[in-house]
Amino acid sequence: MGDYVFIMIDLNKEKLNIKDKKITLYKSTDKNAPLIVFNTFEGDGEGVYKELQNMGCTFINLLVVGNIDWNHDMSPWYMPSIYSKEKSFSGGADEYLKLLIDEILPKAKELIEGVPKFTGIAGYSLAGLFAVYTMYKTDVFDRVACMSGSLWFSDFIEYCKRNEYKRLPDKIYFSLGDKEANTRNPVLKTVQDKTIELSEYFKSIGAEVIFELNSGNHFTDTILRSAKGIKAIL
C-alpha cells in the first residue's frame, strides 16, 4: 500500500499513517460536507470532534493530522527559541504543506462522501500561525481558523502585509485568551496586539474576519476554543 498504512476503520472514523504523520479522519454521513484540516500538537482530535458534535456541527468532515514535528512543521522560517531549554523554530512549514496538499488531502477526499462544499484549515497555537501562513502559499483553503495563534512569531505580521496572498478566505477567525499577553516574556507579551493588528489588516483588505477574546491564558479550554473556532468558519 506504499506510504499509506491503514490502522483502523469504524463507521465514521478512519486512522491511517501517511509518511510519519498520524491521520484521523472523522467522516460526515452527509454528502459534500465541508472538510476541515486540524493540525494538532498531540492526540487524535477526538475531544475537539466530540465538542463539535455537542455544538450541533454534525455536518463536517474533520481531518486531524498528528505526530507533527511542532517547531519544525508549523514554523514558516527559522526563529531562535523563546525559551532557553526548548528547540528553535526550524522553518519546515513549506515542506509539511507540500505533504498536506499532495498526499494527505487527496487521500482524505477519496474517503469521504462526495466533494467537499469547501475546505478549511484550523489550528491552535503554532498550528494557528501555520493556518494563516497557508493563505500565502496555496489557494486550496477557503476558510481559516487561528485559535490562540503564535502571531508573535518573528516578522510574521510584516510578512503578511508585505506579500500577496494566494487566496483571501471566505472567512477568517482569530481568537485569544485575555490573559495570554500577561507574561514577562518580551516576545509572547506582544501576542494580543499582533493578533488584533492582523485581524484588522485582513478586515481592511475585504476579508470577513471574526475576532474573539476568550477568558484565560494560552492553556485554558484549548479543546473548547478549538471547536469554537472551527464552528465559526462553517
**Which residue is listed with cell 507574561?**
183
Residue 45 confidence (pLDDT) above 50:
yes
In terms of CATH, what superfamily is 4-232? Alpha/Beta hydrolase fold, catalytic domain (3.40.50.1820)
User: 11 or 90: which carries more pLDDT confidence?
Assistant: 90
Nearest to 190 by CA among 151, 135, 225: 151
Assess whether pLDDT exceeds 70 at residue 3: no
**Element holding 93 (H helix, E strand):** helix 93-99
- CA-closest candidate to residue 166, choices 141, 148, 131: 141
* Residues facing 213 on adjacent strands: 176
pLDDT in tens, 131-158: 999 999 999 999 999 999 999 999 999 9
At residue 39, does pLDDT exceed 80? Answer: yes
For residue 8, is pLDDT > 90? no
pLDDT-based confidence at 1, cuts 50/70/90? very low
91 near 63, Cβ under 8 Å?
no
Q: Are strands 35-39 and 4-9 parallel, antiparallel or unpaired?
A: unpaired
What DSSP string runs through 157-204? Answer: HHHHHHS--S---SEEEEEEETTTT-SS-TTGGGHHHHHHHHHHHHHH
Q: What is the pLDDT of residues 78-123, one digit of tens each?
A: 999 998 888 999 999 999 999 999 999 999 999 999 999 999 999 9
Among 98, 99, 91, 88, residue whose Cα is nearest residue 74: 91
Strand 13-18 versus strand 89-90 pairing type? unpaired
| Rounded average pLDDT over 168-194 | 97
Q: What is the mean pLDDT of the chain?
A: 95
Question: Which residues neighbour 233 within 8 Å (Cβ) at sequence distance 6 or greater?
Answer: 36, 120, 122, 143, 144, 145, 171, 172, 173
> What pLDDT was estimated at residue 186?
95
For 74, counting Cβ atoms within 10 Å of its Cβ (0-12 exposed, 13-18 middle, 19+ buried), the class is buried
CA separation for the pair 153, 160 (Å, rounded): 12
Which of 120, 119, 201 minimizes the C-alpha distance to 159? 201
How many whole angstroms separate alpha carbon 74 and alpha carbon 83? 17
Write the pLDDT tens digit of every residue in 51-79. Answer: 999 999 999 999 999 999 999 999 999 99
Q: C-alpha grid cell for residue 227?
A: 471547536
Model pLDDT, residue 9: 47
37 residue type, one letter: V
- Alpha carbons within 13 A on the beta-carbon side of 67: 10
pLDDT above 70 covers a percentage of the chain that reads: 95
Q: What is the pLDDT at residue 6?
A: 55
pLDDT surpasses 80 at 197? yes
In one-letter notation, the amino acid at residue 221 is D
